[in-house]
């Protein structure tokens, strides 16, 4: 563009109903830069004070960083709007016209922005919690205006362990997908089950008693915590079954008698608690000569010689 044309452009520039001279234009640009710089410095100062008072508490520092960022963005929008527009009426008019066009062209982005507002307002999850949303599962590590970030769990890794991948999930999915929160509900615990099979010839009642003892020894603390949480949330949720103590269920399988241990655990410690319980079960069963693990085998049964006397076939 020719230099004279550039000068003519700035000399004819108008905002709203105002006609801006080059001096006014430069003044408003400097005012905008100063405003943004002051807000940036104030945010840094607030964060420094918060870090000095809170110490190394990542959760609280994260909320302070996000809160100050949102506040700074909002103030910047309002203050810069006042600098460039003659009145809030002009600002409202321009925002209305722009919003009408964006509503059609940027539907998905607006949906994500609405999802962000919903997440901040209703708090279906917060950073630090473990969730499953549609096909995505992981620990929430960050929240933004358009996406939130998950440290992925599952996939090719067993027992809800982390895969190491970071997922950026659109906020709008909270309106279209089912959300499961591992840390909200009656209590911030989940049920886990461990199944073991013993042979039909084993003393399955003794095996069950051993597993009950292990479950009570390992799971009583979480059960007491869950029972207290249920009492606190009795007015918020309709709870039909409030039994939270560890239990062992019996069943008959093809290879033997199945024993299923059901207990409460922290969502982030499912694998560790299962390891501890399995080691106790292995040690206890090893000391018993009348308990054997069952596994798929091929057995030839002679109905003439084996089984109960009344149930044998005639020779």
Give the integer Cα–Cα distance in Å for 239 and 74: 42
Q: State the pTM of this model.
A: 0.64
Give the integer Cα–Cα distance in Å for 6 and 131: 54
- CATH label, 190-286, candidates 3.40.50.1000, 3.30.70.100, 3.30.460.80, 3.80.30.20: 3.30.70.100
Same fold, 119-181 and 190-286: no
Domain residue extents for the chain: 3-105, 119-181, 190-286
pLDDT for residue 43: 83
Give the integer Cα–Cα distance in Å for 87 and 78: 11
Give the integer Cα–Cα distance in Å for 24 and 3: 19
Per-residue pLDDT of the chain (315 residues; tens, 9 = 90+): 444 444 554 445 554 445 556 777 777 788 888 888 888 888 888 878 777 777 767 777 777 777 778 788 878 877 777 776 654 455 566 666 666 666 666 678 888 989 999 999 999 999 999 999 999 999 999 988 889 999 999 888 888 899 999 999 999 999 999 999 998 766 778 889 999 999 999 999 999 999 999 988 887 666 667 777 776 666 666 666 667 888 999 999 988 999 999 988 888 888 999 999 999 999 999 999 999 999 887 777 777 777 777 777 777
Give the integer Cα–Cα distance in Å for 153 and 173: 18
Q: Is the domain covering 119-181 a CATH 3.40.50.2000 domain?
A: no
pLDDT for residue 226: 74
260 class by beta-carbon count within 10 Å (0-12 exposed, 13-18 middle, 19+ buried): middle
């Amino acid at each position: 563009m020719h230099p004279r044309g550039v000068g003519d452009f700035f000399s004819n520039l108008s905002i709203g109903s105002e006609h801006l001279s080059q001096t006014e234009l430069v003044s408003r640009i400097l005012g905008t830069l100063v405003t943004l710089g002051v807000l940036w410095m104030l945010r840094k100062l607030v964060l420094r004070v918060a870090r000095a008072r809170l110490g190394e508490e990542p959760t609280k520092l994260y909320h302070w960083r996000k809160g100050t960022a949102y506040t700074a963005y909002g103030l910047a929008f309002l203050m810069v709007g006042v600098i460039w527009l003659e009145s809030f009426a002009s600002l409202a008019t321009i925002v209305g016209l722009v919003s009408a066009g964006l509503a059609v062209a940027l539907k998905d982005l607006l949906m994500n922005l609405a999802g962000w507002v919903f997440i901040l307002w209703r708090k279906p999850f917060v950073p630090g919690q473990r969730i499953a949303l549609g096909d995505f599962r992981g620990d929430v590590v960050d929240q933004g205006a358009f996406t939130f970030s998950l440290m992925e769990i599952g996939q090719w890794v067993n027992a809800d362990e982390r895969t190491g991948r970071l997922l950026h999930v659109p906020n709008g999915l909270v309106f279209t997908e089912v959300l499961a929160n591992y840390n909200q509900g009656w209590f911030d615990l989940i049920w886990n089950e461990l199944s073991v099979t013993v042979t039909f010839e084993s003393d399955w009642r003794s095996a069950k008693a051993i597993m009950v003892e292990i479950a009570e020894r390992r799971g009583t603390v979480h059960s007491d915590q869950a029972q207290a949480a249920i009492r606190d949330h009795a007015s918020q949720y309709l709870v039909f079954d409030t039994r939270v103590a560890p239990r062992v269920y019996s069943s008959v399988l093809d290879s033997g008698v199945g024993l299923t241990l059901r207990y409460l655990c922290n969502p982030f410690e499912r694998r560790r608690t299962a390891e501890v319980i399995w080691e106790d079960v292995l040690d206890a069963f090893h000391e018993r000569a009348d308990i054997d693990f069952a596994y798929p085998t091929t057995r030839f049964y002679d109905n003439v010689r084996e089984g109960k006397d009344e149930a044998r076939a005639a020779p």
